[in-house]
Amino acid sequence: MKLYTDADVDSTCLDGKRIAVLGYGSQGRAHALNLRDSGFDVVVGLRSSGKSFAKAEAAGLNVMEPNEAVKGATIVAFLTPDMVQKTLYESILDDIDEGATLLFAHGFAVHFKQISARADLNVVLIAPKGPGGLVRRQYEEGHGVPCLVAVERDETGDALTLALAYAAGIGGARAGVIETTFAEETETDLFGEQAVLCGGATELIVAGFETLVEAGYQPEVAYYEVMHELKLIVDLLHEGGLRKMHEFISDTAAWGDMVSGPRVVDEASREAMQSVLKDIQDGTFARNWIAENEQGMPEFRRRMQADLDHPIETVGKELRSRMDWLTE
Q: Least distance to ligand NAD from the beta carbon of 87, Å?
A: 6
Find the shortest distance in angstroms from Cβ 136 to Mg ion: 27
188 binds ligand NAD (CB under 6 A): no
Name the amino acid, one letter, at 279.
D
> Contacts with ligand NAD in 104-163 (CB under 6 A)?
105-106, 127-128, 131-132
Q: What is the distance between the alpha carbons of residues 12 and 5, in angstroms, rounded to a whole number?
A: 16
Of 14, 28, 161, 174, the one binding ligand NAD (CB under 6 A) is 28
Footprint of Mg ion (CB under 5 A): 202
Q: Distance between CA 151 and CA 160 in Å, rounded? A: 6
Please count the other Cβ atoms lying within 10 Å of the Cβ belonging to residue 212: 17
> Judged by CB under 6 A, does residue 66 bind ligand NAD?
yes
Q: Smaller CB distance to ligand NAD: residue 43 or 312?
A: 43
The stretch near ligand NAD (CB under 6 A) out of 1-9, 77-85, 195-203, 305-313 is 77-85
Q: How far apart are CA 252 and CA 260, in angstroms?
A: 12
Determine the Cα–Cα distance for residues 298 and 292; give it in Å rounded to an integer: 7
Question: Which one of residues 14, 69, 79, 190 is an interface residue with ligand NAD (CB under 6 A)?
Answer: 79
Residue 163's contacts (CB-CB under 8 Å, 6 or more residues apart) are 101, 103, 124, 125, 126, 149, 151
Q: Which does 25 bind (CB under 5 to 8 A by kind): ligand NAD, Mg ion, none?
A: ligand NAD
Residue nearest to ligand NAD (CB): 25
The residue (of 62 and 269) whose beta carbon lies closer to ligand NAD is 62
DSSP state of 262: H
Residue 106 touches which member of ligand NAD, Mg ion, none, C-beta under 5-8 Å by kind: ligand NAD
Distance in angstroms (rounded) separating the CA atoms of residues 277 and 113: 19
Query: How far is 167 from 148, CA to CA, in rounded Å?
Result: 9
Q: Does the footprint of ligand NAD cover residue 82 (CB under 6 A)? A: yes
Asked whether position 52 contacts ligand NAD by CB under 6 A, the answer is: yes
Contact (Cβ atoms closer than 8 angstroms) between residue 137 and residue 173: no
Rule CB under 6 A: choose which of 5, 26, 67, 156 binds ligand NAD.
26
Q: Which does 52 bind (CB under 5 to 8 A by kind): Mg ion, ligand NAD, none?
A: ligand NAD
Q: Is 180 in the site for ligand NAD (CB under 6 A)?
A: no
Q: What distance in Å separates the CA atoms of residue 110 and residue 124, rounded to the nearest whole number? A: 10
Degrees (nearest 5) of the Cα angle 34, 192, 184?
Answer: 75
What is the number of alpha carbons within 13 Å of residue 160 lying toward its C-beta?
A: 12
- Report the catalytic residues: 106
- x-or-dash string of contact with ligand NAD, 88-107, rule CB under 6 A: x----------------xx-
Closest to Mg ion by CB, 140 or 203 = 203
- The enclosing H or E element of 5 equals none
Residues 6+ apart with CB under 8 A from 205: 226, 227, 230, 312
Residue 107 phi, psi dihedral angles, 5° rounding: -85, 0
Give the residues lining the site for ligand NAD (CB under 6 A). Answer: 22-28, 46-47, 50, 52, 66, 79-82, 84, 88, 105-106, 127-128, 131-132
